[in-house]
Structure 1
C-alpha cells in the first residue's frame, strides 16, 4: 500500500473544505434515508458534501467529486440494495479507499438493509450487479475487455476491503429503527472527527518506501500475534515511520495505542506505571482509583490484551524490562493483534521471539536534497545561488533526516555569507541537537570497555575487516563489544565484512573524545588532534586511543607508505627486528594467523594500545 506522495506530504497544511463526504446510491436512498442522514449531519454542525447539492451545472463531475473527497476528513458510504449496480458508485468507492490508504482519510461504512457479508462476498443483489457488469464486457473488444475486467476486479477488491472496516449496520443496531440508527451514525462520525491522529514530520520525505512493507504486514489478515521491530540509528526516522503506519492502520483494529518516548519516560519517577495506565486507558479499561505497583498493573494489562485485538506501538524501547512491565508475555495477546516496537537496539528481542525486522535506511541524495530544501527554502529544491552549498550539507548529513531538518532550519533565510561560515563550523563541530540525539546510543552502552571500543573504531577502524580487528583485540572482549555496537546501530558490517559507521557518528565520537580529553588531558584526544590527517605524531599525549591512529584505515590500504612514515611504527618494527609490513606479527606473544595490512601490524605492537582497555590483564 502506498502512503503520502512527496508532493502531497510536502504541503504544510491540508485543506479541508468539508467534514464529511456522503457517498450513496441515489436511486435507493436519495429522498429517504440518505436525505434524513444528510439533514442530521448538518444539524449536528458536520459540514457534509452531497453531490446533488454541491456540484454546479457544467462542472466536471468526476474531477469535482475527487476534489470533494480529498478535501473531506471522513467519507460516509451508504451501502444499499442497488449500490453495486452503479459503476459510478463503485468508482467513487475506489477513490475513497485510495485516499484512505494514501493519506489516512477516515471511512465509515453504513449498511442500510444489506449485510456486510453481502458486500464482502458480493452475494444477493451484489452478485446480480456484477453479473450485469461482466455481461457487458462480452460486447467490448479484446483490449477494452481486458482493461474493463481489471476495473471490475478492482471494484470487487474495494468492496471486500471496505466491508472489513468497522461500520454501522441497521439490522444490528437500534433494533432497526432508522431515526435511532441515524443518531448513532452522527455520534460515531463525531467520535472519528474528534479522534486525534498522531502528528508526523512536517515533510515526511522518503516515508512511502519505508512504510510500504510494514503496511503489508499490518494488513496481512493473519490470526497470529504479529511483532514488528523498527530499528536504526538515532534520528533516522523510526518514530516517524511508526506514526505513519499507525495513522494508516489504527482503524483496522477495535483498540489501538501509541506509547511514545518509552525510554525517556521510564527514567522518570513512576514513569513505567504512567505508561501502563496510559495503555489501559487507551484500550478502554477505564480509570481505577487504587494506585497499583508495576507488577499489579501488568496483570491487569494481561486481562485486557488477552481478549482484544489491538494495534500497539511501543516507541523508543531500549531495555527488555520495559517490555516486561508494559506487556508481560507475548502469548498474552489476542489473536490478530499487532505490536510495533521502535528501538535503536537491533537485537532487543530474544532470538526465540518470532518477529519481523524493519531496518530504517538513510535517505538517498534526491530525498535528502528535498527534505533539506523544504526546511531551508520552503520548497523541494534549493535556490540557484545556494545549490552548491546545499549539496555540501547533503554530503555531510549523509542521509540522516534529523541532521537534514536541523541544518535546513538553522540555515533558513540566512545569507550566502552566513551559509559559508555555518558550513565551515559544521565541518568542525557537530550541531548540539544532533550530538545529543546520537550520543544517547553511546551512553546506553553497558560499560566503559564498549564505549572505548566505539571511540577506537570511530577513529581508526572504519573500513577495517571485522575478523582482523577481533584477532588483534581477541583478549579485550572485542567480539562481544562489536556485537553491542551493532546492536545499538552505532556500527554496521557490510557484505565484505568491513566495519562501517555513519560519518555523523564519527563526528559525534570526535566531539566526545575532545570533550573527555579536555576534562582529563591525554585520555582520548590523540587520535583526533589533526584535522584531515592520516596519522598523528608520537609526540601527542593521547595514549588511551593509540598514538598514531588514523581516522580511516581505508586511506592506509591505498598507501601503506603512510604507516611506514610513522616514527612510532618504524621504531617498534626496528625494535622487533623486522621492518617488513607483510611480516607475521604477534600480539602479547601470540602470533596472528595471517599477514595483516600495515596498520593492523603496527597497532598490534604499539605500546600505548593496551591502555585503551583499562583493567586488562597482561
Structure 2
C-alpha cells in the first residue's frame, strides 16, 4: 500500500556556531573523533534481516536532517544496526506488520523527543507500541532523548505537547488520547539523555555519549543492572569518584552488607562505568559458588587471565602455579577486577594476594557480607537498608511499572513495603509477584506477609514461589535452584524440556519476569537468597530424611543416602561430587529404590555392580571424571536428553549400536583415552562435543544417522587423521570445529555439498592436502585458519614458501565466493607468499584477520573487496604501509605494528571509520585524512612506550584545518574532538 512521505522541513539548519581551537596535550595518547552529516540513505522500508540493535523513533520534520541523521550515522559507524523509518502513516492506517517486527526485534528503542513529537499521531502510536513491547519482552531497553525539550513537558504534556493534545482531543477518541498521555508520562519518567543538561548543548559530544551508552548496553561485557536504581546513586558515585581519580597506586574498595541489600548491583554499576578505561577487566559474578567446585580456585584464576588477556589459557591445576601466572602476566597491565560475594580469605589470596600482582593504576572492588575480609581495602562502604520513600518507589515500579501507584493501591503498597523492610531483593520479588493482580490478590498476599516474622526474608520470598502458576513452573524453579545455577541456558532448557515434555522457554521467561532467575548472556543464574529459599521448599518436605526429598543437592546428604541405601521413589534428582574426596566407591544398588530418578550428577564416583538397578527414567547424567573404560551395556538410557561425561576414563562409550532418539547433547570433552566416537543413532542429537580427546583416531560412520546434528566440536583431537565420507550426509550440520587436528589429511569430498555448513574452525592445521580440500566448501560463511602465535615460523599454519600458497589459495579463493569472515592470524605469511595471491575474488568478504603475520605490505586485492568492513593487521611487525583500503571499511586495527610508517585513509568511506593504532610508534603519516568530511570517524593512537611523534602534531594541524574549511561549505555540519585517552 502506498504511503505518504513525511513532510520535509523547508529549510536546512546551517551550522553557524564557531569552534575554537583546543590546545592538544601531545604528551598523552590521543584519539581523534569526527562526526558529520552523511548522504541521506535510501528508504529503510525493506524487510529487516534478523533483529536490529536499535529502533529509532523521531519526528521527521524536527530532526530528520539534523540530529537524528547525525545519530543514525554515528550508530552505523559504530557497527550498531539501527532501523530508521522515513515514511509516514496514512490517515486511519494502523502500524504495519513490518514496523511492528522492527520494534519487537530491536534490543533498544531510542525515542527522540522534540518539540513537535506529540503533534504526530504516527510518533505517538510508535511510542505506545515501544512501551508495550518493553513490558512483554524482558531485557528490551527504551532510551529517551530529550532534544531541546524538558522531560517534564513530556511527562506532563506541557508547552508544545499541551498544544498538540488540544488538537488531538478534538479529533480522536478519549480512550486513544488517554493511551498516548499515559505513554508519554511513562517515557518521561525513564532514565535517558537531555541535550540541555549535557555537553553544554553541543550535539557532537552529546551523540558521542549516547553511542558510548548504547555500546555499553549492547556489549556482552556490559553487566545487566536493574532499569530503576533507587537509593544507590550517591554511593555508586562516591565509589566511582574514588576509583576514577588518576593515580598510579593500586586502589581497593570494599562493599559490605546483608544479603539482598544491593552490593552486587552497585559493583556492576561502577564496573560498567569504569571498565572501558582499563586495558582489561574481569567481574567474578559468583566467586563463592565457583570456588566450591572441584579445583574451583584454579578455575577462577583461569577466568581472570582469560578475561583480561582475551585469549585461551592453559588449564591451571595448582593454585600456587596460578598465583605465579597472574603476577607474571598482569603486573604490567592496568586492570579492573571485581570479586563479588567473597566468603573466604583463600578466595582473595588466590586472585589478588598482593597489590603488586596488577599494574599501576589498577582498581579492585570486593563485595562481601563479612567486613573482616576488607582489612586491606583503601575505602570501605556499608550498604544500609532503603529508606521508606525509596522502598515505596522501588516496589511500586516492579509491581505497577510506575514509581507512583494509583490512589487505590497506595495503602496496600505501603503495607507490602513495611513487611519487606527496605531490602531491595525482597521489594523486587514481591513487586513482580503482585504485578498484574487485582486488589483482592494483593490483599491475599499481604495477609500471608503478616504471618511471617519481620526478619524472615526467605519466608517473604517464598510467597513468590507459591504464586507460580502450575506444578511444572515450580518444578523448573526448584530444579534450577538445586542443580543448574550458572549453567548455559541451552543446556538447562534441554534438561527441563525432557522433564516437562514441552519447550521450557516460556517457563524460563516467566521465571525471569518474576525476578526468580536471571539470564545473564547465555547463563542462568539466581540470587543466593532465592536459591536457599528454593532448597528450603524441598528440605521442609522431609527435614530429617534426605532420602525422602524430591531433590538431594547437599554433598553430605547425598553421600549418606547412597552409602546407607536410604533412597526412595520420591527422589527425582541427586547431585554428588567426590572428585576432591578420598572416598569415591559406591554400589549401583544404592539407586535401586529411586525409581523416579530423572536427574543424576555423580562426578568422580566409582560405581560398581549392576547398572540395571538405576532408574530407567534418567534424563540427565553428569558424570565428570567417570573412571569406567566402557559404559555398562545394561544401563538403560532411552529417556536421556543430556549426557555429560567430560574428563572421563572411557576408551569407548559403549560397544555395539545404540539408538537414543531423545538425546540432545553428548559431551565427552577431555576424555583422554577415548579412541573412537560411539556407534550412535539419534534423530534428536544436536550437539556432539569431543574437544580435547587427544587419543581419538576414528569418527564412526554412524555419524550420518545424526539427522539433527548442528554442532560438532573436535578441537584438539590431534591424532585424528580422517573424517568419514558419510559426514557429508549430515545435512543439518552448521558448525564444525577441527582446530588443532594437526594430522587431519583432508576434508571428505562430499562435504562440499553441505549447504548448511556455514562455519569451519580449522586453526593450527599445517597439512597442505587438507588446506587444498577446503576450497570445496562453497557455502561456508566463516572460515578460521589461525596459526599458533607461540610456535616458531617454520611450524606455523602456512609455510612461508611460495609453493603451498600457489597450490591451494588461488584455486580456493575462486570457490570462496560465500566466505564473509576469513581469519588467517599468525599464519607465517611473508611477502613471498602474499605476492602469489589476489584477495579481490572474495567478493562477499566482510571481515579479514591477518594478525601476527610477517609481510611488509598487504596482500594485493584487498582494496577491491566491496563489502570489507573489518581488517586487522595487529602485531604485523614488518608491515611498513597500509595503502588503498576499500571505501566499505569501517574498522581498521593496526596496533603493535612496529615498522608501520604510513596509513592511507579510504577515500569517501561509506559508513564512517574507526582506526586503532596503539603502540605503532614509527607512524609518520596519515594520507587522505583531510578528505574525511562526510562521515563519522575515530582515530586512536596510544603509544605507551614512546612519546608522541611528529605524526600527532601533523594530524592535529590537518584536523583543525578540516574544521575551518568545513564551515565554508554550505549545508555541512562537521565537528572534531581531540580526546585524551
**TM-score (norm: length of structure 2):** 0.28
* Higher relative contact order structure (alpha carbons within 8 Å, sequence separation ≥ 6): 1
Structure number having the greater helix percentage: 1
**TM-score (norm: length of structure 1):** 0.43
Structure number having the greater strand percentage: 2
